[in-house]
Structure 1
């Protein structure tokens, strides 16, 4: 429970940074979110969040690209076609997000909460 609280706090604080402050490090930090896939739009999934990351943020768009690992509960690698609306997922996000509505973030890993 403490880990989740720390992650949420980090996300909230990182969202408060000014846009002009862009100091990238060689190693990107990651954040984890949980939610339900509500829509799949080409290389993106619309995720209804189980818990708000920022005030009034109920959903985010997650970019799934060639660098994204998709795994099931047994940690078997899956492909993008395995993702379906209504699937419960846990997503590890990369540090880069675009200020759009909903916010667009890039996925490092997606864990699909089902057997197949």
Structure 2
């Protein structure tokens, strides 16, 4: 009986916490916060200035005012949110180097065995 009560409590806690953590538009603000601020729960960038509502709140600007931009941020909508040019190449190089390093380390631990 106690086990069932504990399970029911955990399920209810999960359901309640999930309801508060819903972010319909994936802008970094939960729907309840967006309702309090007056931003759109289905619109990632309510004021259409190129910055998501969550980024604007985090950086201290008004997500409802398109004339104010976060300081020291890229403001061109053509390049905002795009990764650096060589992002994938850098990621590949780091992955390959880490694998080579792991191989060398494992090989040095036991010279008689071959590791993949």
Is the shorter-chain TM-score for this pair beyond 0.5, marking a shared fold?
Answer: no
Greater percentage in helix: 2
TM-score, structure 2 as length reference: 0.18
Greater percentage in strand: 1
Higher relative contact order (CA 8 A, sep 6+): 1
TM-score, structure 1 as length reference: 0.18
Computing the radius of gyration from Cα coordinates, the structure with the larger value is 2
